[in-house]
Structure formats: C-alpha cells, structure tokens
Amino acid sequence: MDPTVVVIDFQERLAPHVVDIDYIAKNLVKLIKFCKLMDIPVVVTEQIKLGSTVKELRDVLGEFEPIRKISFSCCKNEEFFKVLGELKRREIVLTGLETHICVLQTALDLLKLGYEVYLAVDCTGSRKKLDRDVAIQRMAFEGVKLTTAETFIYEQTVSADMELFKEILDIVKE
C-alpha cells in the first residue's frame, strides 16, 4: 500500500459540536505523527466558512498549506485533484468532519474515479452519532474499506523488527 491520508475539514467552528471529538482528535494526531515519521503524505482541506484547522492538528502538522474548498466533496475541487495527481498514489485514507457530508461525498466520488478508499473510522465524526454510523455503513456497502488509526499504523509497519518500531510504538501508546 502506498497511501495518502486526507484530513477533511477538521476545523475550529465545527469540531466543538462533533460527538466524541476529543477521542477522534487524539486518534488523528497519532495517525498524522505516524505519517510524518514514515513520509506518508497528508493532504488537509478546509471548508471556507469553518475557520482554521484545529490547533492540535496544526501543531502536529507543522507547516502545511490547506486546500480551501466550497464544495462538500473534495473531488469537486481542482486544487485537490492537482495535489492527488502530483502524489501519484491510488490508495486514499479518509479522515475528518463531517462523516455523513464531506467525508461520505468525497469517498463516493473517489470510488467512482477508481481510487482504493479507506476510512479511518476512529478519525472521523459528525454532530450526531446516527448520521456518522449510517454514513460509515453506507461507505462500507459502497466499497470503502474500514480501518482505524492503529490498524493502519500496524499494517504500514508490518513487523516489530522495523528500524523505526520504537518511535512508532511511542506514537501508538500516546
């Protein structure tokens, strides 16, 4: 697997209203730290009306340039596709807010375009639990592969004798 992780609209005006946001943010921080350690690209989007990406993600991302968007699906944004094209990776791991709107629409569009799509279910959320749960079920039915941050980390790590395993273990234990 040669993935790109996409963080969709994890923004200041929306995040406080999302069910279990602290748990979701903690998992997403671990995932981003792992990606940085392993040189896995992380693409960040921001819906134009929701403020900046939340501070805990900005802190771990370091310097980054978010893709600003107006549409719900990232796939309706020209800059998003330019970045994906430059990365030349066909496996996309989706995270972010809200599961039943922007994440769902992006996942369905990516599938139509032939991408292999994964959803880190513990790194995504909605304002209402039912909306999130139904969106996850729908994505799975449509062909999105469900995973978690820790599952993804260990699938990429492959073996405990990997050179960076101690640092990876530290990230997972946070």
The CATH number of domain 3-173, selected from 1.25.40.10, 3.40.50.1110, 3.40.50.850, 3.40.50.300: 3.40.50.850
Name the 3-class secondary structure at 69: strand
* C-alpha distance from residue 18 to each of 63, 66, 102, 119, 123 (Å): 25, 21, 14, 17, 12
| pTM recorded for the entire structure | 0.96
Q: To 10 degrees, the CA torsion angle through 102, 108, 111, 112? A: -120
CA–CA distance, 39 with 109 (Å, rounded to integer): 26
pLDDT by residue, tens only, the chain of 174 residues: 799 999 999 999 999 999 999 999 999 999 999 999 999 999 999 999 899 999 999 999 999 999 999 999 999 999 999 999 999 999 999 999 999 999 999 999 999 999 999 999 999 999 999 999 999 999 999 999 999 999 999 999 988 888 889 889 889 988
Name the 3-class secondary structure at 72: coil
CA–CA distance, 76 with 91 (Å, rounded to integer): 18
Name the 3-class secondary structure at 107: helix
CA–CA distance, 47 with 53 (Å, rounded to integer): 10
| Residue boundaries of the structural domains of the chain | 3-173
